[in-house]
Amino acid sequence: MTEHKKDARRRRRKPGVPVMLTIVLIIIALLMGGLAGFVVARRTDTHVYALQAANDRVTELENTLTLIGYPLGDDVDPQQWLYDNTANDSALADLTDAGWDTGEGELWSDDSLLSATLPEDTEPVVVAEWAGGQLLSSEVIPEYNDQLTTLIFAGHDANEVAEATLKRVLESLAGDKIIAARAAELGLTELTQEELARIDREASESYEAQLDDYIALVGAGQSREEAAQGLEKESGVTLESVAGAMKQSLWNQKFYDHIVRDVTVSDDEVQAHYDALVARQKETFAAYPEEFEYDHQTGALIAFHPDGYRAVRDILIAFEGEDSRTAASLTEQLELGEADSDVRAQLDKLYAPLEEKAKKAQQKLADGAAFADLMDEFGCDAALKEEPLRSEGYYLSDHSYVNSVEFVEGSMMLEQPGQVSSPLRSVFGVHLAEYIGDVAPGPVPLDAIREAVTADALKEKQAAYYDQQRQALLEAAQVKYYPERLH
């Protein structure tokens, strides 16, 4: 995520939401095995946090706060609802404000949102079996509880989704075991010495990073050995478990590649995929313009350009040290109407050296220097250091809010391509924005993106074919499920 996007997120969300979001994340951490579990989950997540998904997730979490009784509004003091570890019997019981009228006296009770989860300390029993294999309750319950908890905190009713979630988990875990056996028969689980060496190296790096996070957040004052024991106890993470997960991921990919090796796409299928992509993006980008901007910034395949966009890049003369944090605090005071002339003077003093550098950059531009060369000399966003964004720039419109307000407004005031803005202040420094040109609206010609569309169509067809083959393996195994044994 670029500096501009961080700035936009900070400035456009109402005060107080980050605190409430932190509360929810603490709850999730407690449910999933402590704060270390939350840290590990974030560290090992393989998905990119797309902007729209993040926005939707924040909304879901805020809705959940309302659902469980947390009062929202500008007049609410979030400090009234804190986890202070005073309850001896249950960490969740401590997340209660005596001032609330919940009707129960406790936020969590036996008939609360979490009533559909299953106890994990029961004697293991067989809950699925097939020729040559079986699935134990001890393997199913943790995964089921994790998935159900995620759905609950996304606003779903536990009783409505519990049965479908359990069915999905049973079939998924059984399928994983059946596929593992099939992969072993094909010799795909045997890894080369080179692959093992690479996994050992990458697993060590990943594990040490997770351990560093644990020490920084929950293990301060502990030796590294003590922290490693705590990480294992709270989240089950060890060097061996990380390496094991990487090995499984590698042979899973080998098995996938083996299954889809003969899948191809025709020209007609590529055309159909392109047409569907154009139609889908036209609708999506109309409803969520920020997705268009974010997809462009992250290099996603784009087949449709909305109207009203221009391409802009900038020189960023960035703050150093704590100056960015100071600028953010002072700027917030201005936005909230709490600032006086002294605050404005502090801001002017803070920006003065950056604006002096901006003047030097402006003079070099006037003398004929290339904008791209000055991006290297004076600085720019990390994303703009690499192609294609270095040449293409960001895509902005009057309705943009992926990037910072100051950057967008200053960029949209430019009248002609090639024009450069006056110095623009943001909490990350001072910007000089260059108007590169307009983004042609409408569908992107297929021939211009044929290779990418073909690859995307092939990937989609391969995924569908793999799912069919996986389902066929499950059906051939004639798996018998016993979900009633879990209750």
The answer to whether residues 250 and 312 belong to one domain is: no
Domain assignment of residue 280, yes or no? no
Give the tokens for residue 230: 């705590």
The pLDDT of residue 153 is 84
Question: How do beta strands 394-396 and 304-305 pair?
Answer: unpaired
Query: Could you give the number of structural domains in the chain?
Result: 3
End-to-end C-alpha distance for the chain, whole angstroms = 45
CB 452 within 8 A of CB 101: no
CB 407 within 8 A of CB 426: yes
The pLDDT of residue 115 is 60
The pLDDT of residue 328 is 84
CA distance 427 to 15: 17
CB 420 within 8 A of CB 365: yes
Mean pLDDT of 181-194: 93
Domain enclosing residue 206, as ranges: 193-259
| Alpha-carbon torsion, ordered 335, 336, 341, 344, to 10 deg | -30
Residues 6 or more apart in contact with residue 326 via CB below 8 angstroms: 346, 350
We report the CATH number of the domain holding residue 364 as 3.10.50.40
Give the tokens for residue 136: 């134990």
The answer to whether residues 316 and 432 belong to one domain is: yes
CB 3 within 8 A of CB 428: yes
Domain assignment of residue 231, yes or no? yes
Q: Is the pLDDT of residue 24 over 90?
A: no
The answer to whether residues 28 and 90 belong to one domain is: yes
Domain assignment of residue 418, yes or no? yes
CB 296 within 8 A of CB 428: no
Q: Considering only residues 470 and 343, tell me which one the structure prediction assigns the higher pLDDT.
A: 470
The answer to whether residues 312 and 436 belong to one domain is: yes
Question: How do beta strands 126-130 and 480-481 pair?
Answer: antiparallel
Residues 6 or more apart in contact with residue 202 via CB below 8 angstroms: 246
The pLDDT of residue 375 is 94
Q: Considering only residues 1 and 341, tell me which one the structure prediction assigns the higher pLDDT.
A: 341
Predicted confidence (pLDDT) per residue in 411-455, tens digit: 999 999 999 999 999 888 999 999 999 999 999 999 999 999 999
CA distance 165 to 27: 21
Burial (CB count <10 Å: 0-12, 13-18, 19+), residue 44: middle
Output the pTM of the full model: 0.69
Domain limit, last residue, from 90, 112, 134: 112
Q: Is the pLDDT of residue 160 over 80?
A: yes
Give the tokens for residue 4: 């501009």
Lowest mean pLDDT among 56-60, 224-228, 392-396, 444-448: 56-60
The answer to whether residues 317 and 419 belong to one domain is: yes
Burial (CB count <10 Å: 0-12, 13-18, 19+), residue 418: exposed
3-state secondary structure of 5: helix
CA distance 20 to 269: 47
The answer to whether residues 319 and 436 belong to one domain is: yes
Give the tokens for residue 453: 């569309």
Domain assignment of residue 148, yes or no? no
